Amino acid sequence: MLVKINTAALNGLTAMPVVTEINVGRGMEFFMVGLPDNAVRESRLRVNGALANSGYHLPQRSVTINFAPADVRKEGSSYDLPLAIGLLAATELLESDKLQRGVFVGELGLDGSLRPVKGALPIAIKAREMGFDFLVLPERNAREAAVVNKLKVYGAQRLNDVVDFLQDKNDLQPLEVDTRAEFYAAQQNCGPDFIDVKGQEQVKRACEVAAAGGHNLLLIGSPGCGKSMMAKRIPSILPQLTLNESLETTQIHSVAGKLGANASLIAQRPFRSPHHTISDVALIGGGANFQPGEISLAHNGVLFLDELPEFSRAALETMRQPLEDRQITISRVKYSATLPCSFMLVASMNPCPCGYHGHPSHPCTCSPGQIQRYMGKVSGPLLDRIDIQVEVAPVSVTELHATPRGESSETIRARVVKARNIQTARFEGIKGVHCNAQMTAAQLNRYACLDQTASAQLEKAMKRLGLSARAYERILKVARTIADLDGSDLITATHIGEAVSYRNLDRSDWMER
């Protein structure tokens, strides 16, 4: 007897339909075809154990299993449930008119329990797109999949629950989630707040400008001056995620298996902070078995690289193109996938190997050659993609006691959102451009209008400070953002002066202090 059960396979960030075909005939043989990987091949043992411990005893027959389409590699353990249901139906231990109306995914334990799988959200999206009535999956994945409307999502704890549901022997109910209510309720917690940061007004201003224009930011300073503390608070001043951004972000984390049990939508902007020993594959994604990298997990959020020069040169250089294109295409022998990676890069570093170059009280023990080699670990093309480079000076104990608490993240965010709204109106109808940092050269010429005084000041600053030519466009983009924060259509000399002050590493005398 031949039975077909609908399931799905992940292909990058999307799912594709897969039909599990089970044919039971005479004999004692067992065949599994359709490019299954080891995890899928091992499902035979898991399914047999789960069926036996759930009270179902299959007759000794010849079984052939095909996963169609046969030319696409099948990976993971999510095929256990459709395989078990198909075997029961093919051996006439299960009869139901619901089999062809739904999609089944889930990993089985030997005791018949259902364990969560990766990619429940994209699978639910594909199930709705294909016109199926319902999706059956492990209970701990149900909230994740239930955010998709016009699809009934049933979360089950055990194989017996699924069989009883198909035979109308239980009252398993579809899970309903008020997506908007849960999303907006989860946005109330903003995490660490800038109100805890004392002093560092110039650096906090740089963080505000970076957040307002979506600019990449580099913090340079001695150990303990607050670089990491402020970087971790940047998500709290970014505009809140929109519902569409949340769905896109949740889909990436779902495929990566990073959502917790019973998780729903991601409502806060991601903040990813990988260790400097990370490999280039872990950073950008890929691998033998496809996995989104840190730059994609930080999509719509912040990627924080602490101790930037300690990262491998190969890993850092892989980010150059994604920083420009805001997406990355990974091509391997087994697959090809395009991942979004529109993130704000925030990096921190010491000014030298010992960390105290330019410190007001702690002497630096590094030679000029050591400082140059240390700074040379970060390439010029990568620095070229970091619009704001600001020094973080240490705060004395006296200042910590005397300085009152600063502005709250909520207050700063209000100014950032106001500036972003100006940019949204400016770039309306322009595909792929949402903030000033994403402007092309043509758009920069159109929207970054300088008055005569500002133009003269920029030319003078370029010559006086020895700024490189590559800093010119970055200065204009940052100046455009500063003008937006001031509500000014025209870029003035004041805006140019502040933007120039954020290009510390372009100064020819930086290492000679």
Residue-wise DSSP of 433-447:
--SGGG--HHHHHHH
- Are the C-beta atoms of 312 and 303 separated by less than 8 Å? no
Written as one string, the DSSP assignment of 122-170 is HHHHHHHHTT-SEEEEEGGGHHHHTTSSSSEEEEESBHHHHHHHHTT-S
pLDDT tens by residue, 114-157: 999 999 999 999 999 999 999 999 999 999 999 998 999 999 99
pLDDT tens by residue, 170-225: 889 999 888 777 777 777 766 788 998 888 889 999 999 999 999 999 999 999 88
Residue 11, pLDDT > 90, answer no
Q: Specify the pLDDT at position 380.
A: 84
Backbone φ and ψ of 10, nearest 5°: -85, 135
Backbone φ and ψ of 145, nearest 5°: -80, -25
How many CA atoms are closer than 13 Å to the CA of 12, on its beta-carbon side? 14
Q: What average pLDDT is seen over the chain?
A: 90
Residue indicated by tokens 């190997």: 353
Average the pLDDT over 399-428 and give the result: 89
Q: Which amino acid is at 33?
A: V
Q: Specify the pLDDT at position 404.
A: 79
Q: Which amino acid is at 174?
A: P
Q: Which residues contact 448 (CB under 8 A, 6 or more apart)?
A: 439, 476, 477, 479, 480, 491
Say how far apart CA 152 and CA 63 lie, in whole Å.
31
Quote the strand ranges of 278-404, DSSP E. 285-286, 291-292, 302-305, 327-331, 336-340, 344-349, 388-392
Say how far apart CA 384 and CA 363 lie, in whole Å.
30
- Are the C-beta atoms of 268 and 237 separated by less than 8 Å? no
Say how far apart CA 107 and CA 197 lie, in whole Å.
47
Is the alpha carbon torsion for 333, 335, 341, 347 positive or negative? negative
In this structure, what token pair is assigned to residue 509? 């005398």
Q: Which residues contact 347 (CB under 8 A, 6 or more apart)?
A: 216, 217, 218, 219, 304, 305, 306, 308, 386
Residue indicated by tokens 């109100």: 195
Confidence of residue 507 (pLDDT cuts 50, 70, 90): low
Collapse the DSSP code of 100 into the 3-class scheme (helix H, G, I; strand E, B; otherwise coil) and give the result: helix
Residue 494, pLDDT > 80, answer yes
**For residue 74, what is the DSSP state?**
B
Give the lowest-confidence range in 149-158, 407-416, 433-442.
433-442
**For residue 362, what is the DSSP state?**
S
Confidence of residue 80 (pLDDT cuts 50, 70, 90): very high
Confidence of residue 426 (pLDDT cuts 50, 70, 90): very high
Average the pLDDT over 321-338 and give the result: 87
pLDDT tens by residue, 39-57: 898 999 999 999 999 999 8
- Asked if the peptide bond before residue 69 counts as cis, ω within 30 degrees of 0, the response is yes
Give the lowest-confidence range in 270-274, 307-311, 398-402.
398-402
Residues forming beta bridges with residue 104, ordered by sequence position: 136
Residue 261, pLDDT > 80, answer no
Q: Which residues contact 462 (CB under 8 A, 6 or more apart)?
A: 471, 472
Q: State how far Cα 237 lies from the chain centre.
A: 18
Residue 513, pLDDT > 60, answer no
Q: Specify the pLDDT at position 511.
A: 54
Q: Specify the pLDDT at position 399.
A: 74
Collapse the DSSP code of 31 into the 3-class scheme (helix H, G, I; strand E, B; otherwise coil) and give the result: strand
How many CA atoms are closer than 13 Å to the CA of 84, on its beta-carbon side? 37
Collapse the DSSP code of 20 into the 3-class scheme (helix H, G, I; strand E, B; otherwise coil) and give the result: strand
Collapse the DSSP code of 428 into the 3-class scheme (helix H, G, I; strand E, B; otherwise coil) and give the result: coil
Say how far apart CA 394 and CA 199 lie, in whole Å.
10
pLDDT tens by residue, 229-256: 999 999 999 999 988 899 999 999 999 9
Say how far apart CA 66 and CA 4 lie, in whole Å.
10
Say how far apart CA 290 and CA 335 lie, in whole Å.
8
Quote the strand ranges of 199-278, DSSP E. 217-221, 271-272
In this structure, what token pair is assigned to residue 416? 């950032």
Residue 336, pLDDT > 90, answer no
How many CA atoms are closer than 13 Å to the CA of 101, on its beta-carbon side? 9
Say how far apart CA 476 and CA 424 lie, in whole Å.
18
pLDDT tens by residue, 448-462: 888 889 989 988 888
- Are the C-beta atoms of 20 and 67 separated by less than 8 Å? yes
Average the pLDDT over 279-283 and give the result: 94
Q: Specify the pLDDT at position 508.
A: 52
Q: Per 3-state DSSP, what percentage of the chain is helix, strand, and coil (rounded to 5)? A: 40, 20, 40
Q: Specify the pLDDT at position 265.
A: 87
Q: Specify the pLDDT at position 190.
A: 66
Collapse the DSSP code of 339 into the 3-class scheme (helix H, G, I; strand E, B; otherwise coil) and give the result: strand
Say how far apart CA 302 and CA 270 lie, in whole Å.
6
Average the pLDDT over 438-453 and give the result: 88
